[in-house]
Chain A
Amino acid sequence: MWAPFALGKQKAGQAKACPYHITDLENAMNNSHYCPHSPEEISEMLAAIGVSGIEELFAPIPPELRAKTFNIPPGMSEFETYARMQAIVADNSSAMLNFIGGGFYDHVIPAVVDHLSGRSEFYTAYTPYQPECSQGTLQALFEYQTAICRLTGMDVSNASLYDGATACAEAAMMGLRVTGRNRIVVDGCLNPFSRQVLKTYLFNLKVEVVEIAPLDGTLNREELAKVLDDSVAAVLVQNPNFFGCVEDFSAIADQVHAVGALLVASVYPISLGLLKSPAEMGADIAVGDGQSLGNPLSFGGPSFGFITAKKALIRNMPGRIIGETIDKQGRRGYVLTLQAREQHIKRHKATSNICSNQGLYALRGLIFLSSIGRQGMVEMAALNRDKAEYAKAQLADIPGVTVLQSAPTFNEFTVFLPRPAAGVVADLLKLGIAAGVPLGDYYDDSANALVVTVTEKRTRKEIDHFAKELEAALCN
């Protein structure tokens, strides 16, 4: 028996009851490498393949291409790691009053979302390599597809993509495949991050990306009409757009279809409780980011993207699609369907070479939508709109502040400040208020413009406090 508290009573040299030498433990912890193998195991493996050492193993790789150093700190014990992580987390501001949107939103997450998605059957599983073995996962994703179709009004959905930005890019790729054309037209009001990811995707393809500069924070319809011709594969728009403006793209859909191109609408799912759906507007493909559906804000991710389309386009959809069927005995079952689109069958001609999905976050989206429900989505969207309208009125009352009035808005709107927005945001951050997204980084001549978001979580008191502090900051 080891009696730790008896040490003081023992004479020197008698402390042998300890099962290990403390220095050995420290060494083991401090030197716990990032490699799971012991030196003995490594020698054994090298001997088995007839190589004298690590140096010989890597000899075929030219020295200049080898990593000089991995530049990683020594290993830590579990306890040290935990303390370090806690210290990092402590740097986060958890009490910040959040008026930031721009694609990622601070919405309520019902407790059931964490509870159900945290179940180990869902939480620990990666994409199953024999998918039909995981009927529970497939059923959840099938129901996710159904929920997303009902939300957007579109015919078909895949089992999710990485995020909203890659979903935009995948939609553009669909347009290229379906039409066989090589021009993509993008509304400059589309989220700048999505536009950047789109350009990255298309960089090495012989595809021309035409961006239409925004007109008062909305799509410049005259410019669009000028660039639309039968070389255009797809037109990408966003609703509400990056300025918060809500637009009806129904007429645009007709124009786009008249030249044989596809209309891609990027939408903010929470807004669909209130706004005309992409299907109602005549979009061929609707995409978006699923963060707002039950996924927390955590430095930009993780999240999921959704992509939906008209049924005729299903064979050009990227990613996995779950189908419902019956087995030999007539029992309901779920399968991966239309796999001939995918890379394990169609290789380089696959509809996408990123066919993984964000299953866990899509599942959270499904649980969120199921628990909020149809009526709940309507009420939630109305709350967002009403609170944002209240905030808009409060901010418009501040001397020197004007609100962009070119279009109706949902829960996000653009204000013009009397001085550069970035500085104002920095001042308010010190007071615990995250005031919004300054537009100066993304658009020319927009340094004084700020996009403010008000979700259902903001109270009247918080909005009043924000307005008061903003006014004070602008007076200084």
Chain B
Amino acid sequence: MSTYFTKEHEWVKVKEGIGAVGISEHAAHELGDVTFVELPKMDKIVKQFEVLGSIESVKAASDIYAPISGKVVKVNEALNNTPEIVNESAEDAGWMAWIEIADESELKNLMTSEQYEEFLKTL
């Protein structure tokens, strides 16, 4: 399973046409304690780099952008009551939604893990 990253610090892990989406550990650390995650609605059709949901922390409120186009087929309901999962496990249990990928060729617009590591060094 490959993981790809956006410049806005979202990740997408792709398996069998489905992309699991969340925010990176770097982003979770920068946000500080997460207090609320606004999840997308089920069946929402999103386009790559358009707003998927939003996240609030004690410091800020930010939008979450879709790393890939497609349809939302699952959302992480656990985040409704325990948004702190995002801080504890940003790139695993803190996933936000599953997107049924419309066009896998869009992955070329994203960074690999290595490229993202390099990108973080430039910030």
- Residues on A lying within 8 angstroms of B by beta carbon are 180, 315, 340-341, 345-346, 349
Contacts and interface: CB of A to CB of B under 8 A. Distances in A.
A315 B35 CA distance: 12
Contacts of A349: 61, 63
A346 B61 CA distance: 6
Nearest to B60: A345
B49 interface: no
Nearest to B38: A315
A180 B44 CA distance: 11
Interface string B34-51: 011010010000000000
Contact of A315 (B36, B41, B60, B63): B36
Contacts of A345: 60-61
Contacts of A315: 36, 38
Contacts of A346: 61
B56 A340 contact: yes
A260 to B, nearest CB: 11
A341 B35 CA distance: 12
Contacts of B35: 340
A349 B38 CA distance: 14
A345 to B, nearest CB: 5
Interface in B16-69: 35-36, 38, 41, 56, 60-61, 63
Classify the secondary structure of B's interface with A. strand
Contacts of A340: 35-36, 56, 60-61
A260 B104 CA distance: 33
A341 B36 CA distance: 11
A54 B63 CA distance: 45
Of the listed residues B36, B38, B56, B61, the one surrounded by the most CB atoms of chain A closer than 10 A to its CB is B61
A180 B40 CA distance: 11
Nearest to B56: A340
A349 B56 CA distance: 13
B90 to A, nearest CB: 19
A59 B36 CA distance: 49
Nearest to B35: A340
A346 B56 CA distance: 10
Given A341-B61, A345-B60, A349-B61, 8 more contacts: A315-B36, A340-B35, A340-B36, A340-B56, A340-B60, A340-B61, A345-B61, A346-B61
Interface string B71-115: 000000000000000000000000000000000000000000000
A180 B61 CA distance: 19
9 contacts: A180-B41, A340-B35, A340-B36, A340-B56, A340-B60, A341-B61, A345-B60, A345-B61, A349-B61
B69 to A, nearest CB: 18
A180 B60 CA distance: 23
Contacts of B36: 315, 340
Nearest to B51: A349
Contacts of B56: 340
A181 to B, nearest CB: 12
A346 B63 CA distance: 10
A295 to B, nearest CB: 34
A345 B31 CA distance: 13
Contacts of B60: 340, 345
A349 B41 CA distance: 18
A321 to B, nearest CB: 14
Q: Which 5 A-B pairs have the closest CB atoms?
A: A340-B61, A340-B56, A346-B61, A345-B61, A345-B60
